[in-house]
Amino acid sequence: MKDFWNDRYGASEFAYGEAPNEWLAEELPDVPPGQAQRILLPAEGEGRNAVYAAIKGYDVVAFDQSEKGREKALQLAARHGVTIDYRIDDAIHFQIEPGAYDVVALIYAHFPADLLPIIHERCIEALRPGGHFILEGFAKEQLPLNSGGPKNEAMLFSIDELSQQLAGLRTLDLQRERIVLSEGPYHQGEAEVIRAVGLR
């Protein structure tokens, strides 16, 4: 998969655009005045959400397995005059600091089905008590649509599965919605997504 993502992110155009994901922009808490806030962004790709969070005042840690994605993310950050800590790693081996983050956001972070419970548990562990969890990804109902996402149903989300995988959160709101995506060339058109917000 690393080669796949390096090929996709190696193009001059941003695969999913330069603007942040709309759900993240809507749900990302404001940084309280005078308080440092940390956000973790796994599978961050070309950095659109990381740069947005940095502009909003967050101390950003992001990672992805794609070197090409990291290169473009750092270029985008430089253009906006912000800095991000962007590492090359994957969601299983990334060194999680328990309770170290105020926000963890998974935006279209799709993984093999056997790894999802482990990855989601690790993301919850990374949150401080009271920290925010934000997710948007493709629902299983996305499979026949051509607006993006894996063509492997096991990698897509369902309300029931996510409810179990995110049971470590103190509060959790999950909803499936049909939205219209306009995020670069690879996320275009009507899409079936699941959106989640929660508190540890």
Binned at pLDDT 50, 70 and 90, residue 33 comes out as confident
Spatial separation of the C-alpha atoms in residues 69 and 25, rounded to whole Å: 21
Binned at pLDDT 50, 70 and 90, residue 1 comes out as confident
Q: Which fold has domain 2-28+35-199?
A: Rossmann fold (3.40.50)
pLDDT for residue 29 is more than 90? yes
pLDDT tens profile 185-196: 999 999 999 999
* In the chain, where the domains are located: 2-28+35-199
Spatial separation of the C-alpha atoms in residues 134 and 174, rounded to whole Å: 10
What SS3 state is found at 51?
helix
pLDDT tens profile 63-94: 999 999 999 999 999 999 999 999 999 999 99
For the segment 5-28, the average pLDDT, to the nearest whole number, is 96
For the segment 5-18, the average pLDDT, to the nearest whole number, is 95
List the 101-107 sheet strands across, edge first: 85-88, 59-64, 38-41, 101-107, 127-138, 187-199, 171-183
Query: In 3D, which of 127, 126, 128, 158 has the Cα closest to residue 140?
Result: 158
User: Tokens for 18?
Assistant: 């330069």
Share of the chain above pLDDT 90, in %: 96
Spatial separation of the C-alpha atoms in residues 73 and 30, rounded to whole Å: 22
Binned at pLDDT 50, 70 and 90, residue 34 comes out as confident
pLDDT at 58: 98
pLDDT at 164: 97
Task: Give the residue, 2 or 127, on which the prediction is more confident.
Answer: 127
The residue written with tokens 């972070």 in the block is 109
User: Tokens for 127?
Assistant: 């949150």
Characterize the bridge pairing of strands 101-107 and 127-138.
parallel
pLDDT at 102: 98
pLDDT tens profile 147-163: 999 999 999 999 999 99
Please report, for the chain, how many H helices and E strands are present, in that order. Answer: 6, 7
